[in-house]
Every structure is written in C-alpha cells, then in structure tokens.
Amino acid sequence: MNFLQNKTAIVTGASKGIGKAISFDLAKNGCNLFLVSRTEKDLEKTKKEILKIYDVKVHFFSADIKNFNEVKNTFDKIFNIENKIDILINNAGITKDNILARMTENDWQDVIETNLSGYFNCCKHIIKNMIRNKYGRIINISSVIGSNGNTGQINYAASKAGLKGLTKSLSKEVGARNITVNSISPGFIETDMTEELKDLNKKKFLNNISLKRFGSPNEVAKLVSFIASDDAAYITGQTITIDGGIN
C-alpha cells in the first residue's frame, strides 16, 4: 500500500498524539514528511522512530504556529528543500480549560491564536505553493467540541467551530485549482491532551459514546491518510466526524 508515494506532506503538531500517528500512517503509505512543532527533541525522536520502519524522506523544523513570521520562515526553508508540497495537515492544538467566570484573557487568546490563527498562518503560507503546483490537500483537525460545545471549553470550542467556516470558505476559493480543503472532527481520542481529564469526566464522556470506548490516534490517522489520497479527490469543504458515535 503505497498510495501516497512521491507525495510530500507538512504535519503540524507531529511530535505527539494524533499528529505523530498521522505522520506514521502517511509514511506507511509512502509519503515524505516535514514535521513541525515547538519542541525540537520530540521531533528528532519522531523522525528517528519513523525512519527505523519506513523508507521515506523526513525533515523536521521547530516552530510556533501562533507566530505568523515564524511559520513563513519555516515554510520558506521547507520550499528550499522541496518545492512541491502536496499535503498540509493542520493538527497542532492546545487546550486551556476553565469556565468563563475563571478564564483569563490569556487563556482565551492562547487557544484562539494556536487553534485558529495558527491554522490561518499555515494555510496562508502554503496556498501559493499548492496553486502553482495545481494540486493540494489541506486537512484541518477540528473537534466535535466545535459543534457540540463543552462546559469549561468556550475558547477551545470557538477555535474549533471557527475551523469549520475557514475550511468551507477556503474550499470554495481554491476548488478550481484542484485543491481540496476538509476538516476532521475527532471525538475523545486517547492522547496527552485527554490524559489530563479527571476520571469522573472520562466516565461521563464514555457513557455518551455508542461504541463505549475512546478512539485511538491511529484510527484518526487512517481517515486522514484516506482524505489525503487521490481516492478522496471529490471530497471538499467537509467536516468529517470520527467519534465512535457521540450522542
């Protein structure tokens, strides 16, 4: 199965959790990778682990997606190595949960700047490259919280809901250029991000999931690889949910 052979992807938040699983699955399908997140040593470790198993090209750059110029400089360095980027996986994200009464302005801004403006920064700096190459797959990792909402997550829910509009609008702008733009909305996936949740909250979530289990990063990664493939050429502007059936 090498359906992504000769393709190249940028994956943000590639050092951990869902982003790491996505990077492995893309590599499994033959895709070359540029891994991006803030912590260099984690990226280096991910690169080594991928290269132990898969025969693909892997580079990494540490960058903060919140910073417009840092993303520009990083993407320029990437274009110097590879001038045709086929796939952008916007995955890096954070939570800073609190009820509105206790949420600080900083908690609000940090989450919006990472989960929404950060995705704008990456789309902004990739789009001319994809337009020039007349090909592109942009996949934004959203969340079911963006449509369902959740107590203590107004910042996170707003950022993820914003991605739905960004995805739909950008898909209309670039569809004629053979570029698809989709969001994937995971439910509860077991990563460091959800590890922080208290057991009581986890039990509450579990009760509402039809399949009565949490999802794995690998399950999300397989969906991402499909949307990134040529077989998904007629899917654009969509938000695709993968949540085990949340009621």
Ligand X SMILES: NC(=O)c1ccc[n+]([C@@H]2O[C@H](COP(=O)([O-])OP(=O)(O)OC[C@H]3O[C@@H](n4cnc5c(N)ncnc54)[C@H](OP(=O)(O)O)[C@@H]3O)[C@@H](O)[C@H]2O)c1
Which one among 39, 104, 151, 210 touches ligand X, defined by CB under 6 A? 39
Residue 62 φ then ψ, to 5°: -85, 130
Closest distance of CB 234 from ligand X, Å: 25
CA–CA distances in Å: residue 116 to residues 98, 121, 133, 146: 18, 9, 26, 12
Q: Please identify which of the residues 54, 119, 156, 234 carries the catalytic annotation.
A: 156
64 binds ligand X (CB under 6 A): yes
At 85, the amino acid letter reads I
28 or 135: CB nearest ligand X: 28
246 binds ligand X (CB under 6 A): no
Q: Restricting to residues 171-190, name those near ligand X by CB under 6 A.
A: 186, 188-189
Distance CA 76, CA 44 (A): 20
Which one among 98, 178, 194, 201 touches ligand X, defined by CB under 6 A? 194
91 or 180: CB nearest ligand X: 91
84 or 202: CB nearest ligand X: 202
Which one among 8, 12, 182, 225 touches ligand X, defined by CB under 6 A? 12
The region of 3-11, 49-57, 172-180, 191-199 touching ligand X under the rule CB under 6 A is 191-199
Whether residue 234 lies in the annotated active site: no
At 235, the amino acid letter reads I
- Work out the burial of residue 201: count CB atoms within 10 Å of its CB; fewer than 13 is exposed, 13-18 middle, 19 or more buried: middle
Per-residue binding string, ligand X, 93-112, x by CB under 6 A, is xx------------------
Chain-centre distance for alpha carbon 225 = 12
Distance CA 217, CA 104 (A): 30
Distance CA 219, CA 216 (A): 5
179 or 189: CB nearest ligand X: 189
42 binds ligand X (CB under 6 A): yes
Catalog residues that contact ligand X under the rule CB under 6 A. Answer: 12-13, 15-19, 37-39, 42, 64-66, 91-94, 114, 118, 141, 143, 186, 188-189, 191-194
- Residues belonging to the active site: 156
